[in-house]
C-alpha cells in the first residue's frame, strides 16, 4: 500500500476558535543567532552586541525579534499554511519577552477568522500565533492572514492534528521586563551612540530612500528557509514549483524578504535603537526570486516621547526589487500607501510593506 501524507489545511478544515499545537520544537544556539545576524545585518545594536544588550538591561544578547517572527511563522506552516496560495498580512506583531541562545522555542496558533471569497474556490484564514520558550514565557505574538484553497485536506494524517491546548488571550506587553526596569531607572545609562541618527533627527513626514541594495542568492534562500523550519514546497521544492508555482520556480519565503528590507533601512533609522515595540499593517505585494536585488525606503509616520532618554519612532518601511526607491520616487511613485487596495498608481516593483515601531535613544546632552 502506498501512503501519501500532506500537511497544512484547506479552507474547510479550519474552525474559528481551534488551537493548533505546532510540533516543531527547536533549541536556538549561538550559531543560529550568528547566522541570522550576519545574513540580515540589522544595525539595531541590542541584538548584535552583548555590550549594547547589557547596557539596555539584558543579561546577554537577545535573539533578534525578527528571527523569532520567522520561527513563529515557519512553525505554523505545518498546521496552517502548507497548502496556502499566499501569505497576505502581518498584524499586531509584539515581542514581550527577550529570547536568548539556549532557549527552546515552540508555537501554537488560534484560528480567529475564516472567510471564503466570492468565487468559492479559496478563502482567507486569519490566525494568531504565539511563540514561547520552555518556561512558557511569550516571546512573540502576531496575527497573519493566508489565502487558502477551498475544500478539505483528506491526506493529512489523523495522528497529526495537534489540536487543543491552553490559550492565553491576555494583553501582550511591548516591553520586556528588563527593559522596562531600565527605562524606569532615570540614572540608567544606555550604550554609547553607534550610527548617526537619533530620535530627534527624524520628523513625521520625512522620507528616506536607502541607497544600498541586497541581492538575494540561491543558496541562502534555501538555507535560511530550512533553518527556520518553513516546510511550504513553494520555497523548497523545485519539482512542485514547475506546476505549483506561478513563477514556475521557487519563490523567496516572505519572512526573509521582510527581514532583509527592514535591515536595509536600519542604519538610517534605528542604528541607535533599543528594542522593537511592534510591527503592523504588513503585506507582501510582489514576489521575490533568487537573483533579485532588494531595496528599502522609509517614511516617518509619528513620534512619541517615552522618557528623557528615549522615544518611540513609528516608520512605514517598503521594499522594492531591482529598482532603487529614489528612482521610483523621482518618477512620482506612491510608495507608502498600502499597495493592495490601490485602484490606480500601483507600483509593480514594490514587494513588501509594513509599519515598524522602535524604541530609539535620544542624543546625550
Mean pLDDT of 154-167: 70
CB 259 within 8 Å of CB 70:
yes
Q: State residue 361's pLDDT score.
A: 93
The pTM of the full predicted model, rounded to 2 decimals, is 0.93
CB 300 within 8 Å of CB 203:
yes
Q: All 3 cell numbers of residue 168?
A: 492565553
Torsion angle defined by CA atoms of residues 326, 276, 35 and 129, in that order, rounded to the nearest 10 degrees: -110
Domain extent listing, the chain:
1-28+63-155, 195-365
Indicate the helix (H) or strand (E) that contains 314. strand 310-321
CB atoms within 10 A of CB 46: 28
Q: State residue 210's pLDDT score.
A: 97
**Is there a shared CATH topology between the 1-28+63-155 domain and the 195-365 domain?**
yes
Q: Which fold has domain 195-365?
A: Thiol Ester Dehydrase; Chain A (3.10.129)
Q: State residue 2's pLDDT score.
A: 84
Statement: residue 189 has pLDDT above 80: no
Mean pLDDT of 84-110: 94
Grade residue 185 by pLDDT with cuts at 50, 70 and 90.
Answer: confident
Q: State residue 161's pLDDT score.
A: 60
Q: Give the model confidence (pLDDT) of 103-152 as tens digits.
A: 999 999 999 999 998 788 889 999 999 999 999 999 999 999 999 998 88
CATH architecture of the domain covering 1-28+63-155: Roll (3.10)
In whole angstroms, give the CA distance from residue 257 to residue 247: 16
In whole angstroms, give the CA distance from residue 281 to residue 208: 19
Rounded mean pLDDT of the chain?
A: 91
For the ranges 123-137, 158-172, 229-243, the lowest mean pLDDT is seen at 158-172
Amino acid at each position: 500500500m502506498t501512503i501519501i501524507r500532506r500537511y497544512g489545511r484547506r479552507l474547510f478544515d479550519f474552525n474559528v476558535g481551534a488551537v493548533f499545537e505546532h510540533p516543531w520544537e527547536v533549541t536556538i544556539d549561538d550559531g543560529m543567532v550568528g547566522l541570522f545576524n550576519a545574513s540580515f545585518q540589522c544595525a539595531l545594536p541590542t541584538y548584535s552586541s552583548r555590550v549594547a544588550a547589557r547596557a539596555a538591561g539584558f543579561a546577554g544578547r537577545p535573539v533578534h525579534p525578527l528571527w523569532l517572527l520567522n520561527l513563529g511563522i515557519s512553525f505554523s506552516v505545518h498546521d496552517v499554511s502548507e497548502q496556502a496560495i499566499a501569505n497576505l498580512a502581518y498584524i499586531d506583531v509584539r515581542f514581550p519577552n527577550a529570547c536568548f541562545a539556549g532557549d527552546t522555542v515552540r508555537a501554537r496558533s488560534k484560528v480567529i477568522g475564516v472567510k471564503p471569497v466570492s468565487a468559492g474556490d479559496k478563502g482567507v484564514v486569519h490566525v494568531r500565533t504565539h511563540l514561547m520558550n520552555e518556561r512558557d514565557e511569550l516571546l512573540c505574538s502576531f496575527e497573519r492572514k493566508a489565502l487558502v484553497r477551498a475544500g478539505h485536506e483528506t491526506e493529512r494524517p489523523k495522528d497529526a492534528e495537534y489540536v487543543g491546548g491552553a490559550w492565553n488571550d491576555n494583553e501582550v506587553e511591548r516591553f520586556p521586563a528588563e527593559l522596562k526596569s531600565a527605562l524606569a531607572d532615570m540614572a540608567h545609562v544606555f550604550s554609547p551612540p553607534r550610527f548617526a541618527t537619533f530620535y530627534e533627527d527624524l520628523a513625521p513626514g520625512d522620507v528616506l530612500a536607502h541607497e544600498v541594495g541586497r541581492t538575494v542568492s540561491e543558496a541562502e534562500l534555501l538555507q535560511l528557509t530550512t533553518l527556520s523550519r518553513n516546510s511550504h514546497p513553494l520555497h523548497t521544492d523545485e519539482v512542485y514549483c514547475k506546476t505549483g508555482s506561478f513563477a514556475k520556480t521557487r519563490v523567496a519565503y516572505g519572512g526573509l524578504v521582510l527581514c532583509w528590507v527592514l535591515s536595509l533601512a536600519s542604519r538610517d533609522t534605528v542604528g541607535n535603537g533599543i528594542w522593537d515595540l511592534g510591527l503592523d499593517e504588513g503585506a507582501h505585494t510582489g514576489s521575490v526570486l533568487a537573483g533579485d536585488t532588494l531595496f528599502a525606503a522609509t517614511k516617518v509616520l509619528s513620534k512619541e516621547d517615552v522618557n528623557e532618554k528615549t522615544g518611540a519612532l513609528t516608520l512605514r518601511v517598503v521594499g522594492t526589487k531591482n529598482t532603487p526607491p529614489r528612482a521610483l520616487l523621482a518618477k512620482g511613485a506612491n510608495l507608502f500607501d498600502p499597495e493592495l487596495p490601490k485602484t490606480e498608481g500601483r507600483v509593480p516593483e514594490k514587494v513588501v510593506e509594513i509599519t515598524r515601531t522602535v524604541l530609539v535613544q535620544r542624543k546625550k546632552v
